Structure 1
Amino acid sequence: MNKRKVLLILLIVCIGLVFWWYFNPSELTDDSKEVTLYGQIDLRTVQLSFSEQEYIEEMYVDEGDVVQSGQVLAVLKKDRLAAQFNEATARVDAQKEVVQRLTTGLRPQEVLQAHARVQAAQIQLKNADSLLRRVKTTTPSGASTRQSLDDAVTAVKLAQAELAVEKNGLSLAEEGYRKEDIAEAKANLEGLQASVQLLQVRMGELQMLAPVDGIIQNRIAEVGELASPARVAFTLAVTEPKWVRAYLPEPDLGLVNEGMTASVYSDSFAEPFEGWVGFIAPQAEFTPKRVETTDLRTQLVYEVRVWVDDPDNRLKLGMPVTVTVDATANKNINSDLDSASEESSDVDSGSDSRSQ
């Protein structure tokens, strides 16, 4: 009788556990849920080319060399651009002198010369007036001819015109050069200075600098070849940060979020590498043929990029890896987000009540 009671109790407990598991499956599964992804190590590459078309003078790195950001990789010949730079600099210096001359105005000696020319014109006019008065007194008596009187009158008019010209010249000398001429000279100077700055930029671009830290993957150009912007000289593999291109099955999409920590396993190393989910594609696709997973290849997946911390650069491009993501971290993230949203809603409601 006691055995039957025990068996009945056990049966009731089992049935209760089955019902509880059926209505709360996440309590038994999600806590130990681990999402496994399959992918490959992917590297971003930079195609490096020169901005100038010139012959290569030196190549300082080779394939496999580790380079730092700002390191000089190669240089071009600079003779031609250096000559253009010197010519442009000389033109700037000459135009500076023109601007200085126009801004300063005439020299004091030139102004004094203008004064002297005015005084000479005044003397000539005075002399012409005296001659005209004498001719006028002698013409009625016949001592001077009518032609002499006409010549004296013309001489006075010429002297008056010459005096007017010299006075205008003195006024211009004292006033200096026109503002429009000075502005034009300054504009020409700015244009020449811009040409010099452009040549300075081009001179700097004769050196190829590494834009980021990385490894020289391919050395395509050689010394003595003609470089151009359309021709790649180096291929630089960016090693930091390194990331895994993997694919997340659609049923596991709700278990993985961006920012979650991950472990990256490789067949070449026993210990895993630390990583984190950096990107999940917003659009689904079919599994690419090159990815080998245990799921059907026609299953919808989402591309995932998992950043990997590999300071020793042990993971190589194209290396197949396995990524595991602890889905329990998803709960923590969601709970944090929910609590943050609740706090913000409480703050909003409090502010609303205060405003009322």
Structure 2
Amino acid sequence: MSRQLGLLLGILIPCVIGAGVWWWARDVSAPTAWHGYAEADYVKVGPTQQGLLTELNVARGAEVSVGTPLFVQDETADRAARDQAARQLQQACDQLANLEAAGKPTEIDQAEANLADARATVERTKIDLDRAESLIKNGAVTVQTLDQRRSDYQSATARVAAMQAALAQTRAPMGRKGEIEAQRAAVDAAKAALEMTEWRLAQRRVTSPVAARVADVLARPGETMAAGAPVVSLLPPGNIFVRFFVPEADLARMHRGDTVGLACDGCRGDIHAVISFVSPQAEYTPPVIYSEESRAKLVYLVEARPAPEQAVLFNPGQPIAVVPLARAP
């Protein structure tokens, strides 16, 4: 009996040692792999101002490009405000044009005619004055008459100056300089008010800011939306990333810019991602991470972002296995 037991132990001990060596070698040679899941940064699009949602132009799962209409709010009040601002601007422009305009054509013609008459009077009185000055030498006219001719000439000359000023005033803008500057400022203010109302009106029709897939629709026509409240949730391909957790022992191998390999059920084997974030704080293994050795231990959160053309292969929440690759230069 003891001989048989010794023979059995002689067989079992080498087998156990061999199995242990095999297990140790398999565990050592097995490549390091961390478990994680796909995550996404959603672009939630909402209105810039409160209003009634009247149209919804997309459905969940639809692909949209930049500029694709997403939804429309009631724009009745904004359209009326835009029309009012446009009319106020036109009124301000008309008032400015009136202040900058000269007198009526008939008024200018009358002023020119008065100036011509005054100039003719100057010529006539000048002739009379010259004649009186030549006749006074031989006593043909009196000194009183000469003084009268000189006075008539001076009066006619002054009237010409007055008529020239009247013509210049008729041709000048009707408003004073200060009035014109004030009205120009009013025109600028009316233009700004029109631009503001046009912007508010345009904001009632919201389009997609990015090319993406509609991840969710969060509101329906008939709902009154507050400013900033999301109506449509978009998922651009480049916003999908992988979030995984590494133990403290592997933390020294994690660097921002390093490349890691990604694997999942049914995925091809050449998917890579670049580490974009390494958490500086430790945390306990999240319950959503199930590994072969799931147990409470400290780990560090790491995020890696694949190229947009590869990111579309994942869906948020999908389990991902991450393996280290060569560090990026």
Provide TM-score, normalisation by structure 1.
Answer: 0.61
Identity of aligned residues (%): 19
Per-residue deviation at 1:271? 2.6
**Runs (5+) with no aligned partner, structure 2:** 1-28, 116-158
2:176 matches 1:188: no
> Aligned equivalents of 1:311 and 1:273: distance in 2?
12
CA contact (8 A) 1:47 1:235 kept: yes
* One-letter code aligned to 2:231: A
* Offset from partner CA, 1:207-249 (integer Å, 9 cap, x none): 1111222222221222233233153212223332421011232
The structure 2 residue matched to 1:70, chosen from 67, 71, 84, is 67
Q: Secondary structure at the match of 1:202?
A: helix
- 1:307 is aligned to 305
Residue 49 to residue 241, structure 1, CA distance change in 2 (3 Å): closer
> Aligned equivalents of 1:273 and 1:287: distance in 2?
31
* Offset from partner CA, 1:159-182 (integer Å, 9 cap, x none): xxxx9xx99x94754553211111
* One-letter code aligned to 1:215: R
* Offset from partner CA, 1:234-290 (integer Å, 9 cap, x none): 222333242101123232233233333222111x31533512223232512113423
Per-residue deviation at 1:198? 1.0
Residue 227 to residue 286, structure 1, CA distance change in 2 (3 Å): closer
- 2:213 is aligned to 215
Residue 107 to residue 297, structure 1, CA distance change in 2 (3 Å): farther
Per-residue deviation at 1:114? 7.3
* Offset from partner CA, 1:121-179 (integer Å, 9 cap, x none): xxxxxxxxxxxxxxxxxxxxxxxxxxxxxxxxxxxxxxxxxx9xx99x94754553211
Name which of structure 1's ranges 245-254 and 202-211 shifts more when overlaid on structure 2: 245-254
> Aligned equivalents of 2:176 and 2:200: distance in 1?
37
CA contact (8 A) 1:247 1:287 kept: no
> Aligned equivalents of 2:82 and 2:239: distance in 1?
40
Q: Secondary structure at the match of 1:257?
A: coil
Residue 212 to residue 55, structure 1, CA distance change in 2 (3 Å): same
2:124 matches 1:102: no
- 1:232 is aligned to 230
- 1:38 is aligned to 35
Residue 302 to residue 274, structure 1, CA distance change in 2 (3 Å): same
Q: Secondary structure at the match of 1:286?
A: strand
The structure 2 residue matched to 1:242, chosen from 240, 243, 250, is 240
Q: Secondary structure at the match of 2:200?
A: helix
- 2:318 is aligned to 319
Residue 82 to residue 39, structure 1, CA distance change in 2 (3 Å): same
* One-letter code aligned to 1:252: D
Q: Secondary structure at the match of 2:296?
A: coil
- 2:90 is aligned to 93
- 2:274 is aligned to 277
* One-letter code aligned to 1:317: P
- 2:8 is aligned to none
- 1:254 is aligned to 252
Provide TM-score, normalisation by structure 2.
Answer: 0.66
> Aligned equivalents of 2:323 and 2:235: distance in 1?
26
* One-letter code aligned to 2:274: V
Residue 226 to residue 102, structure 1, CA distance change in 2 (3 Å): same
- 2:80 is aligned to 83
Aligned residues: 252
CA contact (8 A) 2:58 2:70 kept: yes
Q: Please provide the CA RMSD for this pair.
A: 3.2
Map residues 46-61 of structure 1 onto 2, 5 A cutoff: 46-61=43-58
CA contact (8 A) 1:213 1:240 kept: no
Map residues 80-159 of structure 1 onto 2, 5 A cutoff: 80-110=77-107
* One-letter code aligned to 1:315: F
- 1:344 is aligned to none
> Aligned equivalents of 2:285 and 2:54: distance in 1?
45
* Offset from partner CA, 1:28-55 (integer Å, 9 cap, x none): xxxx895422111001112221123333
* Offset from partner CA, 1:93-142 (integer Å, 9 cap, x none): 22112112222333343456679999xxxxxxxxxxxxxxxxxxxxxxxx
Per-residue deviation at 1:308? 2.4
Residue 273 to residue 224, structure 1, CA distance change in 2 (3 Å): farther
Residue 310 to residue 96, structure 1, CA distance change in 2 (3 Å): closer
* One-letter code aligned to 1:97: D
